[in-house]
């Protein structure tokens, strides 16, 4: 650094800083390494929070400020999260705003009082995104659940963050429109933007990044920004929409979003093909992709997963317990028929053992049901005391069979039960792992090995679940230290006091001894 | 601000700052209004540049450091740019690096010496993006023109920024692959990323934002970052790839990019339909879109444009001089046939006067040639002393006919000649305006009115050309002042000394009297 000592003389100022640390010394550098980050003190102590409670009640009324234990527990963790919250990882209170202006007023109070803030919508995230490790307040968006405006001829819709993607699609169906991103059930637009999620439709339609035109966000100091108007494309300035997508509530709280919509295809169908090995199945997908067949989705389920589905008995038939591909097709009736014919031929060339396609809407639902019930089927075969861990990685498409095979070997060695479900057209898959508390370390090891392998295969530590608390320390391995240090610089520009989901995605405080797993 | 006076005592330090301004006082705020931005002094004076010349020659050799007048002129402006450079808007020298490391070393020298830097690749941009208004150095990427690695089974390719999209597609054709974004001829990947460009393929395939997986960029202080590995999707940390796309060289210099590729469709065709009015043509597009017909492109040319094409005689036939739609179709032979049949029917319902489609590859080229030659045809009808101004806006699709009609009325009133070419499926169009030096103010007025109308229709001041110098002052009107102030905060985080294309996209220095046009 170019200076070694400095002294501030204050004429006026906030008492927080008298004699204290400055949050971010001015720097000529483009990155902010953790060693040089001097974090300001967050103030989640009882006195400050009680005083803030009065402010929030004045703003929202008592009915929308909760300190009920149930509410605090519900907003801390879930049974399906890979991250297990500690007993004191609880918010002091949960706030339920109804407008962007209220969110801005909340943030102004938190900014003045240095209170940490975590955003919350559907609560379906998996990596500890909303666990309030610094206490403070949780801002729950479930009261902001309106469709603000549907512009059906422009193919866009303006929504609040507490709208669920499933109920949105229920509304849109009447207009022959839909919103393609389809993550886990229960997810809401706010969290879906935060995580940059996707789902089975991503292969054909892309992820959240491709379907959000604009967001309104409240920044850490209460400033309201809107990233774009409604044109379907724009080159006007930095792409702040994309900056907020995948930022996991660390850069701002999204209070409204304009989403692009797609027209429901005229005709759809589903086909299921089983293969002797994962490699044969992946090989089939490679052929389908390089033939340019515009399949609407292609999912892979491994032998264990097919076994779970049979065992759980949630679908109306028995399935072959071998690696299986699930295809969705869409287009005109003729185009779908043609796609199915070609896919059937390619599947046979890739050693496919069976190929079955739906001849009616009912058969479509029946065939797709196995894919739909995959997670729940694995949950259903849990033993007493078992937890579930849904890990997520993505690699370049040709590396997927290697990664799945090696993960299955490592799983076998570990003695744990796990199944694999993959968005195979994107090189993205999930390992659904069962473990009990005694096996936690073993489970961590299996996931760690999978993540490390993905990075070594030029892949990513998360295809669609996000980083949260669980994957922070993997980022430097995937992206390089300087890239993470640039993200940290960006975080401190947007949120100099580190109020918003502080320490998630990017570490802002140094890890404690024992926090870091050996790479 | 929380302090009113401060004093720095230096133990060691750079003489630049003794008694001077700090570049960015630490702030607790999330945005940086222009009034609070204290810009550091850029040092493009002759002594500093001559001393730097020695550094650069040592690094690159004399052959790759040019101070030739021709080179300086070529790297300052072009005849097709809407922004006209002043006589002293010239770089002191042009550098031709060959590796990322060299670019990093260049930036380290510039950072140490506070030298302003402008990146340059194809030089086809329209809004003054590469005009060196602060002098300093131009970094020309045309020596970095290699395809680094083609992963055809993963559908991606790693390229240097000096690769042109046309030559890239020439290479890819052998593998039955292509890179969809198709901006003006001569554009290169570096500039295409900088501008966040698109083209006729955007309606079906999306813009640069959808086709760049990862970039390697050199930051203002010489730090090298790589934003992603090669997985086709990722939720690992902030989306820095998208941050660099559309940042117009203000946040970093892109030295390598991994691009997604598409498989060449089995079959294509082209159709041309003429209409009595722009509104009828737009109406036809609305019907085609809401029917979910997956057309590969749909372009609109107005009556003036069709007249230019006839007058220029660059195509082998005469066209009806009325608003005309150009469609591209792709898919299997059967699917294309079906798409054409439906589009023909819909065109008739929308008062289409004629509908013609290609029955051979030759006919495809013939029909599409009118679209392809649009800009050149307008240039060909220029009078002595005429310049060309290609303006670009986008609005929600349903507002396009209003905007085009109003723009045509304003054009008529102005007495200037202009034609309209639009990516109508995206609500994006270009006004190609002819004017001579005496008419410059009138031309500015026509473009200003079009941009203002687009903003009032919830649109954007640029769909694909970018902001550069020309559209900076429109951003607050489109996005709101706080959003622009957030962009400025981001810029200063990435580039605290404002070395990189300083004052483009976002003003960093206060406008001079007379700079601002009345809104």
pLDDT in tens, A113-142: 999 999 999 999 999 999 999 999 999 999
Q: Does residue B19 surpass a pLDDT of 60?
A: no
Q: Which residues of A touch B247 (CB under 8 A)?
A: 238
Rg (CA), chain B: 24
Averaged pLDDT, A228-255: 98
B5 within 8 A of A9, measured Cβ to Cβ: yes
DSSP summary character for residue A500: B
This complex has an ipTM of 0.94
pLDDT at B16 over 50: no
Classify residue B480 by burial, with Cβ atoms within 10 Å: 0-12, 13-18, 19+.
Answer: middle
Q: For residue A240, what are its two tokens?
A: 């702040």
Assess contact for B492 and B425: CB atoms under 8 A.
no
The β-bridge partners of B433 are B389, B418
Q: Which of A16, A14, A115 is nearest to A56 (CA)?
A: A115
How big is the CA angle at A152 (ends A150 and A158), to the nearest 5 degrees? 25
- How much is the mean pLDDT over chain B? 93
How far apart CA B361 and CA A119 sit, in angstroms, is 55
- Chain A residues lying within 8 Å of B31, measured CB to CB: 219, 221, 223, 225
A262: exposed, middle or buried (Cβ count in 10 Å: 0-12, 13-18, 19+)? middle
**pLDDT of the residue at B382:** 92
Pairwise CA distance, residues B391 & B404, whole Å: 12
Considering only CA atoms, which of A443, A403, A441 is closest in space to residue A422? A403
Contact A308, A378 (CB under 8 A): yes
Pick from B197, B230, B232 the residue to mutate for testing the A interface (most A CBs within 10 Å): B232
Which stretch of A196-210, B14-28, B380-394, B460-474 has the lowest confidence by average pLDDT? B14-28
B487 touches chain A (CB under 8 A): yes
| Chain pair A-B, CB pairs under 8 angstroms | 385
The least confident of A26-35, A406-415, B347-356 is A26-35
- Cβ pair A467:B236 closer than 8 A: yes
Whether B13 has a pLDDT exceeding 80, the answer reads no
**pLDDT score of B516:** 84
Helices B400-414 and B278-290 cross at an angle (nearest 10°) of 160
Q: What confidence category does residue B102 fall into, taking pLDDT thresholds of 50, 70 and 90?
A: very high
Closest alpha carbon to A26 in B32, B446, B317: B32
Q: What is the pLDDT of residue B5?
A: 33
Alpha helices in A291-392 (DSSP H): 303-312, 333-349, 361-372, 374-380
| Spatial separation of the C-alpha atoms in residues A453 and A459, rounded to whole Å | 8
* Residue A16: band (very low, low, confident or very high) from pLDDT cuts 50, 70, 90: very low
Q: What is the rounded average pLDDT of the residues B164-181?
A: 98
User: How close B316 comes to chain A (CA, Å)?
Assistant: 33
Q: What is the pLDDT of residue A101?
A: 98
Residues in chain A: 519
In this predicted structure, what is the pLDDT of residue A11?
Answer: 32
pLDDT at residue B244 tops 80: yes
DSSP B273-300: EE-SSHHHHHHHHHHHHHTT---SEEEE
Nearest Cα neighbor of A274 from A347, A343, A360 is A347
- From A370, A301, A367, select the one nearest A329 (Cα to Cα): A367
Q: Does pLDDT of B124 surpass 90?
A: yes
Over 60: is that where the pLDDT of B262 sits? Answer: yes
3-class secondary structure per residue, A127-192: CCCCCCCCCCEEEECCCCCCEEEEEHHHCEEEECCCCEHHHHHHHHHCCCEECCCCCCCCCEHHHH
CA distance A316 to A155: 37
- How confident is the model at residue B4, as a pLDDT? 34
Please compute the mean of the pLDDT values over residues B323-342 and round it to a whole number. Answer: 94
pLDDT at residue B35 is higher than 70: yes
Q: Identify the CA nearest to B460 among candidates A227, A149, A155.
A: A227
According to the model, what pLDDT value does residue A6 have? 35
Asked if the model's pLDDT at residue B513 lies above 90, the reply is no
pLDDT in tens, B135-168: 999 999 999 999 999 999 999 999 999 999 999 9
Find which of B236, B264, B337, B473 to mutate to test the A interface (most A CBs within 10 Å of its CB). Answer: B236
Cα(A471)–Cα(A422) distance, integer angstroms: 19
Please check the confidence at residue A229 and state whether its pLDDT lies above 50. Answer: yes
Report the Cα–Cα distance between both ends of chain B, in Å, rounded.
30
Mean pLDDT over A150-175 rounds to 97
State CA A41 to chain mean position distance: 28
Choose from A157, A200, A232 for mutation: most chain B CBs within 10 A: A232
- pLDDT at residue A8 greater than cutoff 70: no
Please compute the mean of the pLDDT values over residues A172-190 and round it to a whole number.
97
Cβ–Cβ below 8 Å for A334 and B331: no
Q: Mind listing the domains of chain B with CATH numbers?
A: 46-140 (3.30.43.10), 147-263 (3.30.465.10), 267-457 (3.40.462.10)
pLDDT-derived band at A467 (thresholds 50, 70, 90) equals very high
The pLDDT of residue A516 is above 90: no
Tokens of B111: 């950072």
- The CA distance from B150 to the nearest CA of chain A, in Å, is 13
Residue A21 has what pLDDT? Answer: 43
Q: Which of B9, B291, B506 sits opposite A237 (nearest CB)?
A: B506
pTM of the entire structure? 0.94
How many C-beta atoms lie closer than 10 Å to residue B442's C-beta?
Answer: 15
Which is it for the CA torsion B445, B447, B448, B452, positive or negative?
positive
**Residue B25 above 90 pLDDT?**
no
Residue A420: both structure tokens together: 């694999």
Least-confidence region, from A23-32, A48-57, B186-195: A23-32
Res. B303: pLDDT tops 80? yes
Q: How far is CA A492 from CA B36, B91, B286, in A?
A: 18, 34, 44
Q: Closest CB to B223: pick one of A30, A462, A479.
A: A30
Q: Calculate mean pLDDT across residues B68-73.
A: 97
Residue identified by tokens 């006729």 is B200
Which residues, in sequence order, are CB contacts of B182 under 8 Å at separation 6+?
B165, B198, B199, B200, B201
Q: Are A40 and A498 in contact (CB under 8 A)?
A: yes
pLDDT at B12: 33
Question: What pLDDT does B290 receive?
Answer: 85
Tell me how far apart the alpha carbons of residues B32 and B490 are, in angstroms, rounded to a whole number.
9
Give the best residue of B100, B180, B235, B458 to mutate against chain A (max A CB count within 10 A): B235
- pLDDT mean across residues, chain A: 93
B493 touches chain A (CB under 8 A): yes
Average confidence (pLDDT) over B60-68: 98
DSSP string, B97-155: --SHHHHHHHHHHHHHHT--EEEESS---SSSTT--TT-SEEEE-TT---EEEEEGGGT
Chain A contacts of B14, Cβ < 8 Å? 2
In this predicted structure, the answer to whether residue A194 has a pLDDT above a threshold of 70 is: yes
Note the pLDDT of residue A515: 85
Which pair of structure tokens corresponds to residue A205?
Answer: 């339609």
| Number of helices (H), then strands (E), in chain A | 17, 18
- Predicted confidence at residue B161, as pLDDT, reads 98
The whole-angstrom separation of Cα B117 and Cα A200 is 44
Pick from A232, A462, A479: which is nearest to B397 by CB?
A232
pLDDT at B442: 97
> Which pLDDT score, from 0 to 100, does residue B26 have?
61
A430/B491 Cα distance (integer angstroms): 37
Lowest mean pLDDT among A14-28, A186-200, B137-151, B248-262: A14-28
In sequence order, the β-bridge partners of residue A214 are: A258
Query: The tokens of B433 are what?
Result: 């305006």
Helix (H) or strand (E) holding A282: helix A278-290
> Among candidates A372, A386, A239, which has minimal Cα distance to B239?
A239
DSSP structural state of residue B251: S
- pLDDT class of A26 with cuts at 50, 70, 90: low
Determine the number of helices (DSSP H) and then strands (DSSP E) in chain B.
17, 18
Phi, psi for B319 (deg, rounded to 5): -115, 155
Question: What confidence tens digit (pLDDT) does each residue in A418-430 have?
Answer: 999 999 999 999 9
B387 has pLDDT over 50: yes
Q: Which tens digits make up the pLDDT trace of B187-216?
A: 999 999 999 999 999 999 999 999 999 999
- Give the dihedral sign, CA B325/B330/B333/B334: negative
- pLDDT grade for B18, boundaries at 50, 70 and 90: very low
- Asked if A249 has any chain B CB less than 8 Å from its own CB, the reply is no
Each residue's pLDDT tens digit, B74-101: 999 998 899 989 999 999 999 999 999 9
Long-range contact set of residues B334-337: C-beta below 8 Å, sequence gap at least 24: B334/A334, B334/A335, B334/A338, B335/A331, B335/A332, B335/A334, B335/A335, B335/A338, B335/B267, B336/B267, B336/B268, B336/B269
pLDDT at B7 over 60: no
pLDDT at res. A192 = 98
């Amino acid at each position: 650094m170019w200076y070694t000592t400095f002294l501030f003389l204050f004429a006026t100022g906030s008492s927080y800083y008298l004699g204290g640390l400055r949050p971010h010394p001015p720097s000529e550098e483009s990155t902010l390494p953790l060693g040089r980050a001097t974090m300001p003190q967050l103030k989640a102590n009882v006195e400050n929070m009680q005083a803030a409670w009065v402010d929030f009640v004045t703003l929202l009324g008592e009915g929308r400020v909760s300190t009920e234990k149930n509410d605090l527990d519900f907003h801390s963790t879930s049974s399906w999260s890979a991250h297990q919250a500690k007993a004191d990882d609880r918010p002091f209170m949960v706030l339920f705003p109804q407008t962007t202006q209220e969110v801005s007023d909340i943030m102004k109070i938190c900014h003045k009082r240095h209170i940490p803030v975590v955003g919350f919508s559907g609560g379906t995230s998996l990596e500890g995104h909303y666990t309030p490790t610094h206490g403070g307040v949780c801002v729950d968006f479930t009261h902001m659940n309106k469709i603000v405006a549907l512009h059906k001829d422009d193919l866009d819709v303006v929504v609040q963050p507490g709208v669920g993607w499933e109920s949105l699609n229920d509304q849109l169906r009447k207009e022959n429109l839909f919103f393609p991103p389809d993550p886990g059930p229960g997810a809401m637009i706010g969290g879906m933007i935060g995580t940059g999620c996707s789902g089975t439709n991503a292969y054909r339609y892309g992820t959240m990044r491709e379907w959000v035109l604009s967001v309104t966000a409240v920044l850490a100091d209460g400033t309201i920004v809107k990233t774009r108007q409604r044109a379907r494309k724009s080159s006007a300035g930095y792409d702040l929409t994309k900056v907020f997508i995948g930022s996991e509530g660390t850069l701002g709280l999204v209070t409204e979003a304009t989403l692009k919509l797609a027209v429901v295809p005229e005709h759809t169908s589903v086909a299921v093909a089983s293969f002797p090995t994962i490699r044969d199945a992946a090989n089939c997908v490679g052929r389908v992709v390089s033939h340019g067949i515009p399949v609407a989705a292609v999912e892979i389920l491994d032998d264990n997963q097919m076994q779970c589905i049979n065992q759980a008995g949630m679908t109306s038939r028995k399935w072959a317990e071998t690696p299986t591909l699930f295809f969705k097709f869409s287009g005109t009736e003729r185009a779908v028929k043609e796609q199915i014919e070609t896919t059937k031929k390619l599947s046979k060339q890739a050693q496919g053992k069976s190929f079955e396609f739906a001849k009616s809407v009912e058969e479509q639902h029946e065939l797709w049901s196995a894919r739909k019930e995959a997670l729940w089927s694995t949950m259903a075969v849990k033993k007493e005391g078992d937890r579930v861990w849904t890990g997520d990685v993505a690699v370049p498409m040709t590396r997927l069979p290697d990664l799945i095979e090696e993960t299955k070997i490592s799983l076998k060695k570990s003695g744990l039960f796990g199944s694999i479900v993959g968005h195979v057209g994107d090189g993205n898959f999930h390992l659904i792992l069962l473990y009990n508390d005694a096996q936690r370390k073993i489970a961590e090891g299996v996931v760690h090995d999978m993540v490390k392998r993905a990075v070594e295969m030029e892949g990513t530590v998360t295809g669609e679940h996000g980083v949260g608390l669980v994957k922070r320390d993997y980022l430097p391995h995937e992206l390089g230290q300087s890239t993470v240090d640039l993200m940290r610089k960006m975080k401190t520009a947007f949120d100099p006091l580190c109020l918003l989901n502080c320490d998630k995605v990017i570490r802002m405080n140094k890890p404690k001894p024992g926090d870091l797993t050996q790479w």
